[in-house]
Structure formats: structure tokens, C-alpha cells
Amino acid sequence: MLQILLLLLLSSTADSRSQRVSGYKKANACVCQLNSTMWLFPAQKFKYVLEEVHTCEGSLNNLQEELTFSSQRLPLIQDQFSNFTARLEPYNYLHFRGLYTELSLRQLGQELSQLQVDIDVVHSQLNNSETQKLSKEADRLHKHVNKMQTIDTLNMKTVKEKLRYLKNNVETCKSIPKDFRGHDRHCLRGLITNISDPITAKVSPHGKSYISGSWGKQAQKESDGQKNSYWVQPLLSSHIWGNTVRLYQTYEDLMASTNHRDFTFASSYSHPSAIEGPSAVLYGEALFYHCYRSADICRYDLETNEVKRVTLPGTGVGFNNKFPYCYYDCRLNSDVDVEADETGLWALYATIGNHGNLVISRLVWDSEVKSLNVTQTWETRLFKKAVSNAFMVCGVMYATRYVNEYREEVFYAFDTATGKEDNSLAIPLEKVAKAVASLSYNPTNKQIYMYNDGYLLAYQVYF
């Protein structure tokens, strides 16, 4: 009986499969052979199905996480998109005036491209009307920016260049003498044609370890008190700041490093009247230089010890190492450079408003009211960080660039009398060390003075 009940139980499975078997009687019992394999549990199939269930469950969890993340990011992207729209509003207004810059539009376009990628990712996950609307608006906005960049930028560049040209012409005509170049007969000969090899080479009296500073001969022709004086102004603090200048009464005293006098024009290296960068020039009875961490030019009177200053014009005048001389190696904090020539004093610097390009301002000292003034300003197209140094001769700014460890090259000239530029020059300038801290022309002897990593070099200029 037990065998029969087992047969019935097994035959009543879920799949209702049955099996007929034959048997025989043995010792009052029914004996039969039963094949039980057809009712074995499908373990392999069960394992496969279980793995599929786990995989599906993991995919659903990941999808849920992505949807949650996308739902969280969507408001952020909407805020970012609103921000782009708000940022574009000023450009739409300025679109009719051609005042926006190509760089600003290009940066905006790059950010919009990244935003488009983010929107596409969220849209592929959510794919609802809100993400579709965002995607279309971003695409339309991107096309609008591209149109502004490719079409209107040309007009903007043309207008801005014309504006710069007119501004320079106004500055040229504003207050210069009738015979601007008649101050010195040799100025009528035109641009510099050659520069000699060094005619003076000497280690700075403060030592070769002070690699940054400036030096030269007193530069004002009409000066009597300091007519033949030579000066050295090293930057003793971090090769950036200084507060003293050393004077020698004669060239022989300089070469022998004797009979000098030190003047202290600031009580410390961080005083507002301290010098910043290799920027000084001795003009008459005063030292002119870039004032500590400011957009100002200082004038230190050797006789009265009084310091006067004037702020340079321009939007975002570079100082504190924003627009130093660079080209090969950047000279720390060489943002503002004071120069002298036959026509007077000059300041060379760069501004954000002129896109980091060199700006030339003319300085005038009013001895009657004891004030330093800026009378004229010209904007060039020469990027200041692409220049190793610069100097003024006969109202013309000359710029240099690095050639190798022992040579610089005068490659550019800007004439303030005409507003014309010449970038085809190739006048060699020999040196004894790699980096140039300062270059200054002196109209009294037509020589250029270089502070060359602790070496003092002088050259003769030819026209």
C-alpha cells in the first residue's frame, strides 16, 4: 500500500505528469520499478532564473538611483540655464554697439556646450516635456551666441580698432609741442638702426645675488645738480621691493664703487612709498618709480625727501604681478615701467581695459604747484606678457623679446607722434646673463642701460 500511495503522490504534481508501470506480486506485496527522474527539481533552471531576477533587481535599483539623481539635478540645471540667460542679456544690449569681446562670447559658448551635454544626459533619462524644452532652448541659445561670435565680432573688432586709432590720434594732437621731434636733432633721423655691444659691464655694487633692479645715468638734460650722476636701485626684498637708491657723482666712482651716497625714500619695504618692481629712473633731482602695490607713480625728491604720486589712467591698471614683462621668464612685479627720453618721462604698463596690451602714458612734473600729472595716454596692440622689456627713445616705444641666454632682440616700435606701429624690427642686444630686469634709455649720451641679473650693462644707440 505504501508504494501505491507514493506513486499517487508523485503523479499528482503541479505539471500533472503521470507514468504507467507494471508490477508483480511477491510475498503478499506488489513489486514494481518506478522512474523518479522525471519529477526531479530543475535546480539548474532555478539557479539561472534566480540570477536573472537578481540582475533585473540591480538594474532597477540603478535606474531608480539615476532617476533620483536626474530629478535632483534638473532644478540645478534650470537655475544654471536661467543664469546663462541673464548673463546673455547684457550682450544682447551691447550687440548693437559692438562692445562685447570675442573672448567673453567664446567662454560663454564653451559653457553652453557643457550645459548642453548635461541637459542631453538628463533628457535621455527623464525624457519629459520639461527636459525637451530645456534642450531646445539651450540649442537655440548656443546658435545665437555662435552667430554673435562669427558675424558681429568682426564688426566689433573693426569698431574697437578704429576707436583705438582715433583715441591715439587725439592723444597725439592734444598737448604735444608743434615741433615734437625738434627737441633733439637726431630724433628726425627716424627709428634706431643699431645697438652696440656692451660698452660697460660691471657687477652690481650690491652683489650679483640681487638679480632685480635698475640703474643708469641721470636722464634730464637741463639738470645741473645731478648732471653727471649715476645711480643704482636694487630690489633688496624678494627681488620685488626696495626703499633705497645709491648715487655716484661720476662714472669713475661708479666703476670703482666709491664715493657713493644712499638715499632712503621709504621707512620699510612695505611702506606705501616703497618701490615695487624694477621700474626706476633718475630724472633731475628726483627718482621716479612704481609705488608699492598700487597703480601709482611716485616721485622722490632727493633734496627735500618728499614723495609725490599720481595714479595711472585706464580700466584695471595691472600691478602686483598681474601684467609683468614675460616672454621667456616673467620678471616678478614688473607691471609698471618708468622711462625717460628726449621728450620727458613716460610710464609703460598694461590694463584690463586694453586686454593686457601695453599702454603708454606721458608724465609731467609741475614744479610750480609741486604735482605729478599724466597728460597723454596711448594704447598699443602689443600684449605686455609677450615682451621681455621696453624703453622709450624720441617718443617711440621699443619692445624686446628673448632670443637666447646671451641675446635679446628689439622687435617692435610704437611711435606716439604718429600712432603707427612697426613689428618688423630685428635689432640684436647682447647680454651676459639670461634674464633682463630693466632697460632704460638716456637722452644725455644716447645710451641704453640694462640690469641683467645682477650685472650692469650699457650700450650705445645708433640712428
Lowest mean pLDDT among 27-41, 242-256, 284-298: 27-41
| Mean pLDDT on 210-218 | 93
User: What is residue 219's predicted lDDT score, i.e. its pLDDT?
Assistant: 92
Domain ranges of the chain: 109-174, 194-462
- Whether the pLDDT of residue 461 is over 90: the answer is yes
Strands 455-462 and 396-404: unpaired
User: What is residue 150's predicted lDDT score, i.e. its pLDDT?
Assistant: 61
**For residue 282, how many C-alpha atoms fall within 13 Å in the half-sphere facing its CB?**
26
Nearest of 378, 388, 385, 437 to residue 408 by alpha carbon:
388
- Whether the pLDDT of residue 155 is over 60: the answer is no
Phi, psi angles (nearest 5°) of residue 11: -80, -10
User: What is residue 43's predicted lDDT score, i.e. its pLDDT?
Assistant: 65
User: What is residue 56's predicted lDDT score, i.e. its pLDDT?
Assistant: 79
Percent of the chain with pLDDT over 70: 71
d(CA 321, CA 335): 6
For residue 143, give the C-alpha cell.
546658435
95: Cβ contacts below 8 Å, ≥ 6 apart: 148, 152
Q: How many helices (H) and strands (E) does the chain have?
A: 6, 26
User: What is residue 304's predicted lDDT score, i.e. its pLDDT?
Assistant: 93
Q: Please, what CATH class does the domain formed by 194-462 belong to?
A: mainly beta
Q: What is the pLDDT of residues 403-443, one digit of tens each?
A: 999 999 999 999 988 888 888 899 999 999 998 999 999 99
Residue that is written with C-alpha cell 503523479 in the block: 11
d(CA 241, CA 244): 10
SS3 content of the chain, % helix, strand, coil (to 5): 35, 30, 35
pLDDT band at 263 (very low <50, low <70, confident <90, very high): very high
- Whether the pLDDT of residue 348 is over 90: the answer is yes
| Mean pLDDT on 207-215 | 91
Q: What is the pLDDT of residues 276-292, one digit of tens each?
A: 999 899 999 999 999 99
Give CA angle at 334 (328, 335), nearest 5°. Answer: 110
User: What is residue 409's predicted lDDT score, i.e. its pLDDT?
Assistant: 94
User: What is residue 186's predicted lDDT score, i.e. its pLDDT?
Assistant: 58
Q: What is the pLDDT of residues 48-106, one digit of tens each?
A: 777 777 787 777 777 777 777 677 777 777 676 676 666 666 555 444 444 445 556 66
pLDDT band at 132 (very low <50, low <70, confident <90, very high): confident
Instruction: State the amino acid at position 335 in one-letter form.
Output: D
User: What is residue 100's predicted lDDT score, i.e. its pLDDT?
Assistant: 47
